[in-house]
Amino acid sequence: MTQDHNTYFNTVDWAQLQKDHPIGDAFVTFAKKSKDEIRAHQEKLFARCVARAWQIPFYQRLWGDAGVKPGDIKGLETLPSLPMFDKQDIMASIALKPPFGDFGGIDSMKGGRPPIIMHTTSGTTGTPQVLLFGAKSREAQNLLLGRLYRFQGLRPDDVVHSVYGHGMINGGHYVREAVTHWSSAIFMSAGTGIETRSARQVELMRDFGATVIVGFADYIKKLARVAIEQGIDPVKDLKIRMISGHLGREDKQALSDSWGGVDCFDWYGVGDTGCIAGEGPDRDGLYVMDDAQYLEVCGIEDGKPVADGQEGDMVCTCLFKDDIYPIIRFNTHDVTRFRTDTSSIGINFKRIEGFLGRSDNMVKIRGINIFPQAMGPLLEEIDSFAGEFICKAVRDGSGRDDFIVCAEVNGDTGAGEVAKYKALLKQKIGIDCGIELSGPGALADLTQTEQRQKPIRLIDERFA
């Protein structure tokens, strides 16, 4: 048996990787190129991805069933005519050829199986999905996130406190690799509240002089409250100057204020694709990483591209994934819209509003489409809101559907306060909602904030 190993680090052409996807000052220079120059770069990378995809049974089946032949894909303009795929198609691939499926193209690589990184999704929307990365595409993902952190202001002297989860979940490992491989900052992988209890996390930030927090906004806000409970002033005793995470429609000002007015940056990506878009120093929309990700916004009902400024599903083509698991038209089922105004800092990459909700988590109540995730920023308008909420969709004996918002509040939970919340949501979403108020911490078992990277925001009891 041979002992020769084609190792992870020997597989990557590091110079070419940084030429294809510049980082630091070189990134800013590239992002200010003309749209025609950026498009030419995209087309070159896309051609490599298509050539690789045709070698893989998953795409042979997906495209073949749609009547697509190899010569039919002329370039990026062909994308709207190609079929999308989503998590359910990947799960079907795994069922067809367990345990890894045939979507990765492992068996079609010359010279035997290459170095592969395997993780899974968190299972927020169902059964966890296998995630496969080749060395080159993994490092491209790492570079894109490391680049974004640096674009947002991460400095070599920073100490980064991460609350992303580990285990089989991709998030914590991927973020650690991004910071340690592509920045000079010190990284602390604290993880979730289960991995390192919240009170201890606050002590670690104090003892090691953390200056940056990365993770999901809900838990980062919780840590500020825990610090106060521990007698630690999150402003005077801690030195946090920057937060970068997944804010969705969260009120960034409230998150910033809880940490003493620090700069808060939003970014978006999913486990399959890595970082797709993120805010820059202007904090005015999320810049799509156009040299690496080709993003479409498509209608939730018909799947057709929508006009800029209209909401739809994010459909992503990863221009760097030409090794393991090429991604061409992956429907994330996350909703956004393209910005139509011009970047104030001269960047010619497209911009999106950010995460506006999940189309497969959307509920229709009496003719109104409601995204449960969007309730948080609305509730923030009332001072008593304590930051945690969960929604319920219920159906009574007559078949009438109702939407109930359960929220944690500080202080009064009586009828007067309930009426205030009901009036706000009636104004914002157009229907009467049920309101259930409780004190801080009461919803923890339902939202599972301590256990999950992404808290649960909807319990649909209509079909139970």
Q: Which domains does the chain possess?
A: 1-359 (3.40.50.12780), 362-460 (3.30.300.30)
- Helices 87-96 and 57-65 pack at an angle, to 10 degrees, of 120
Q: What angle (nearest 5°) sits at the alpha carbon of residue 121, between those of residues 120 and 127?
A: 95
How crowded is the C-beta side of 289, counted as CA atoms within 13 Å?
A: 32
Looking at residue 187, its amino acid is F
CB atoms within 10 A of CB 344: 10
Q: pLDDT tens digits, the chain, 464 residues: what are they?
A: 456 778 999 999 999 999 999 999 999 999 999 999 999 999 999 999 999 999 999 999 999 999 999 999 999 999 999 999 999 999 999 999 999 999 999 987 777 788 999 998 766 555 778 999 999 999 999 999 999 999 999 999 999 999 998 989 898 999 999 999 999 999 999 998 889 999 999 999 999 999 999 998 878 988 999 999 999 999 999 999 999 998 866 568 888 989 999 999 999 999 999 999 999 999 999 999 999 999 999 998 899 999 999 999 999 999 999 999 999 999 999 999 999 999 999 999 999 998 887 777 777 787 677 878 888 888 988 999 988 999 998 888 777 788 999 999 999 999 999 999 999 998 888 888 999 999 998 998 898 877 676 788 888 887 65
Query: Which of 168, 141, 146 lies closest to 156 in space, CA to CA?
Result: 146
At 456 the pLDDT is 85
Structure tokens belonging to residue 86? 């989503």
How far is Cα 292 from Cα 242, in angstroms, rounded to an integer?
A: 26
How far is Cα 325 from Cα 136, in angstroms, rounded to an integer?
A: 12
How far is Cα 446 from Cα 209, in angstroms, rounded to an integer?
A: 33
At 1 the pLDDT is 45
At 68 the pLDDT is 97
How crowded is the C-beta side of 165, counted as CA atoms within 13 Å?
A: 23
How far is Cα 213 from Cα 205, in angstroms, rounded to an integer?
A: 9
Longest pairwise C-alpha distance within the chain? 76
- Cis before residue 99, ω within 30 degrees of 0? yes
At 123 the pLDDT is 63
How far is Cα 229 from Cα 217, in angstroms, rounded to an integer?
A: 19
Structure tokens belonging to residue 175? 């973020």
How far is Cα 161 from Cα 187, in angstroms, rounded to an integer?
A: 6
How far is Cα 213 from Cα 265, in angstroms, rounded to an integer?
A: 11
Task: Say which DSSP state 235 is in.
Answer: T
